[in-house]
Amino acid sequence: MKKEITRRQLLGYGAVMGGTLAGGAMLGNDMAIAGKDKKTWAYHELDPAETEKLGYEGFYEGRCCFGTFKSIIGQLGDKYGAPYEDFPFEMMKYGTAGVAFWGTLCGAMNGTAAAVGLLLSGEDRDKIITSLYAWYEKTEFPIYSPPKPVHDCNMPKTSAGSVLCHRSVGKWLQASGNTFISKEKLERCARVAADAAKKAVELLNAHLHGTFKEGAISTTASSCLACHGIEKEANALSKMDCRICHGDKLPHPKR
Ligand code: HEC
Ligand code: HEC
């Protein structure tokens, strides 16, 4: 992408001109530009299939959180230049393996949510992330089958039941008989990154075209939240499927 003079350079120029008449005129102009600048993080339609491929490749470049984020924001940078291309992508590596190998939020969910958060705000952002996470909890993946896999290996599908890396990876390792440090596990997570990136872009496209419908959280969570929602008395802050930690036992042993 050919670079034009960036807005930042223009703003710098305005500062140099400060105090002069021309500088004053420039300042007014700058403010208009600065206001517009915020909107340049807008989403432009992306191809889900292309994003899926980039998610897979991005995983091998910098793992789950980095790869999924870059498959969206980096792709916008390749197509539309600034400000997307100026993002410090390297920082997204913090999310690897549930944040610095803590096994908390799956990096593919962290990276895609960060991309959504950069492009949208408020309810729109939260509804898309909720739909993405609800999809992740219940979907059997990996779905993506790369034409030229980095590691061509047996690839069972498992549903994570949770957005937590710990459980998502753990269930797949049990089903496949692999270990965390195996190349098979890397390949699995690369394909999950592809799936997540594709799903995020499908949701963003639907939002762009006004056809987006919020995905439902698990029936367990919604039944428990009837009493435990954040605005209720016995409140618990979560939209996660409660079963994975609290089990299925209802009614409560003691209430
Ligand atoms: C009909 C309303 C209702 C539903 C539905 C409900 N809860 Fe509760 N829950 C309560 C109330 C009220 C308390 C507080 C009880 C107390 O103080 O003894 C509670 C307490 C709890 C506690 C605290 C420990 C305990 O056992 O007392 C946990 C954990 C819990 N609920 C989990 C869940 C989960 C998981 C679900 C869904 C599978 C669920 N609840 C569904 C009303 C409900
Ligand atoms: C990742 C595991 C996990 C998930 C998922 C989870 N919880 Fe919990 N929850 C816990 C733990 C751990 C505690 C603390 C238990 C303790 O202190 O004995 C807890 C405590 C609670 C309590 C007791 C009050 C409190 O806040 O400490 C309630 C009520 C509760 N959870 C409801 C829910 C509901 C409803 C859901 C689903 C929407 C849910 N939890 C999902 C792990 C989880």
Atom 41 (ligand 1) nearest CA: 224
Read off the pTM: 0.86
What pLDDT, on the 0 to 100 scale, is given for residue 27? 40
Task: Indicate the helix (H) or strand (E) that contains 189.
Answer: helix 183-208
Residue 224 Cβ contacting ligand 1 at under 6 Å: yes
What pLDDT, on the 0 to 100 scale, is given for residue 58? 98
What pLDDT, on the 0 to 100 scale, is given for residue 12? 37
Cα(255) to ligand 1 centroid in Å equals 7
Instruction: Provide the residue type at 62 as one letter.
Output: G
Residue 245 Cβ contacting ligand 2 at under 6 Å: yes
Atom 2 (ligand 2) nearest CA: 245
Q: Which atom of ligand 1 is nearest to the CA of 233?
A: 12
Phi, psi of 203 (to 5 degrees): -65, -40
Q: Extract the residue ranges of the chain whose pLDDT is less than 70.
A: 1-39, 249-255
Tokens read off for 190 = 């690369």
Residue 209 Cβ contacting ligand 1 at under 6 Å: no
Atom 6 (ligand 1) nearest CA: 224
Q: Which residue has the tokens 């998502």?
A: 168
What pLDDT, on the 0 to 100 scale, is given for residue 253? 59
Cβ(169)–Cβ(180) below 8 Å: yes
User: What are the boundaries of each domain within the chain?
Assistant: 7-39, 48-208, 219-255
* Strand ranges, E, within the chain: 140-141, 158-159
Residue 250 Cβ contacting ligand 1 at under 6 Å: yes
What pLDDT, on the 0 to 100 scale, is given for residue 248? 74
Residue 225 Cβ contacting ligand 2 at under 6 Å: yes
What pLDDT, on the 0 to 100 scale, is given for residue 233? 80
Cβ(68)–Cβ(193) below 8 Å: yes
Per the DSSP assignment, residues forming a β-bridge with 158 are 141
